[in-house]
């Protein structure tokens, strides 16, 4: 595929600077792009994007200045780059057929234009919406409802009665609706509490590889529209997660936590159970949240604290060896002074 810079600028609703007759054949990263490819840059990389071999660049309005190659100015370079990836590197279309090697219950309801690949299992009473793609070795449990336009990659398990929204992406190996970790200890023995609820995923949700979302003890564990979870995230039973949240890899959220909208949890961040978190918060990597959190906060550390306060603490901790050394030296000096004072007293 080839596209002129004028065509790309129109597609991206951008403005073209230093226009030329260059034909763009692909899109790539700053370091990898070649003379017929287009790349993008945002801060802090705008200042060094001129070193890239890319034939053209996508930049935000008013950021950076390049005289040696064409530039397309847009509102959001990342969004524009994602759009060009869809143009130049579209996903391979799957043949929309139901494999005879798939196991589908007689009363399961399959929508139009659905692909079900070999060795997938769709159990009794399950429903799969239009245009959904189900890869090999997926298990769609009894009475599960899967929406339209979903992609369910290999080895995904969706347990009984769970609900998957529209346009959801379930990456390989994730488990939706495993039993919540519920036990009652009696006479030194841990007795299992039946987990009778389900998991409900909203629309446009993405769940990463080997991420596990536990079914509720009763009612539902809920993940709101537009929320994205990375690999190896754990969401406990009866959690309620709002819309457009981001969970980076290895985040752990135990049971009965209520999370609002537009929060970001950095890698390995975690909370205690039974707390409430508001909206528009950012939790740094390895942050440990042990109390309720309001809105519009940036927290870090364990226990979590305002990010700037944590940075000051870390700065002081890095000096602890020097401080300890100075303290030892001061103790020696104090001991010497005390010895001199004792000698002076005895001399009198």
Residue from 231, 240, 258, 245 nearest 199 by CA = 240
The residue to which tokens 């010895």 are assigned: 339
- Residue 85 near residue 104 (C-beta atoms within 8 A): no
CA dist., res. 95 & res. 103, Å (int):
18
Cα torsion angle, 10, 14, 15, 18, sign: negative
- Cα angle 11, 14, 16 (rounded to 5 degrees) comes to 105
What's the burial of 18, exposed, middle or buried (CB within 10 Å: 0-12/13-18/19+)?
Answer: middle
Residue from 63, 96, 86, 73 nearest 12 by CA = 73
What's the full length of the chain, in residues? 348
Based on the residue annotation, tell me whether 234 is a catalytic residue of this protein.
Answer: no
Distances 180 to 120, 200, 255 between C-alpha atoms, Å: 25, 14, 8
Which of 13, 61, 143, 237 is labelled catalytic?
Answer: 237
Extract the tokens encoding 152: 């369910």
Cα torsion angle, 330, 332, 337, 338, sign: positive
Q: Alpha-carbon dihedral of residues 231, 236, 238, 244, nearest 10 degrees?
A: -30
How many other CB atoms sit within 10 Å of the CB of residue 321?
Answer: 9
Cα torsion angle, 248, 228, 90, 72, sign: negative
Q: Hey, which residues are catalytic here?
A: 237
């Amino acid at each position: 595929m080839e596209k002129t810079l004028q065509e790309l600028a129109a597609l991206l609703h951008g403005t073209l600077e230093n226009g030329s007759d260059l034909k763009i054949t692909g899109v790539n990263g700053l370091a990898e792009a070649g003379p017929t490819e287009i790349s993008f840059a945002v801060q802090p990389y705008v200042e060094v994007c001129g070193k890239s071999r890319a034939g053209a660049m996508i930049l935000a309005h008013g950021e950076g200045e390049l005289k040696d190659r064409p530039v397309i100015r847009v509102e959001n370079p990342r969004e524009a780059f994602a759009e060009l990836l869809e143009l130049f590197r579209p996903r391979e279309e799957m043949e929309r057929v139901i494999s005879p090697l798939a196991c589908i219950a007689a009363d399961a309801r399959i929508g139009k234009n659905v692909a079900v690949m070999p060795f997938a299992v769709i159990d009794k009473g399950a429903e799969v919406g239009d245009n959904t793609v189900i890869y090999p070795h997926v298990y769609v449990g009894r009475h599960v409802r899967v929406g339209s336009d979903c992609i369910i990659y290999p080895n995904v398990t969706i347990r009984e009665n769970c609900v998957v929204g529209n346009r959801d992406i379930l990456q390989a190996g994730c488990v939706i609706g495993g039993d919540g970790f519920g036990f009652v200890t009696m006479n030194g023995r841990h007795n299992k509490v039946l987990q009778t609820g389900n998991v409900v995923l909203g629309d446009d949700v993405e769940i990463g590889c080997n991420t596990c979302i536990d079914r509720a003890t009763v009612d539902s564990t809920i993940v709101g529209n537009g929320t994205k979870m990375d690999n190896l995230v754990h969401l406990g039973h009866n959690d309620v997660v709002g819309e457009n949240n981001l969970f980076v890899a290895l985040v752990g959220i135990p049971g009965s936590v209520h999370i609002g909208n537009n929060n970001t949890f950095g890698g390995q961040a975690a909370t205690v159970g039974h707390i409430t978190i508001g909206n528009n918060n950012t939790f740094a990597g390895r942050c440990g949240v042990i109390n309720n959190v309001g809105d519009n906060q940036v927290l870090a550390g364990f226990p979590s604290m305002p990010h700037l306060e944590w940075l000051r603490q870390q700065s002081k901790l890095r000096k602890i060896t020097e401080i300890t050394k100075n303290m030892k030296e001061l103790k020696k000096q104090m001991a010497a002074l005390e010895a001199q004072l004792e000698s002076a007293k005895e001399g009198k």
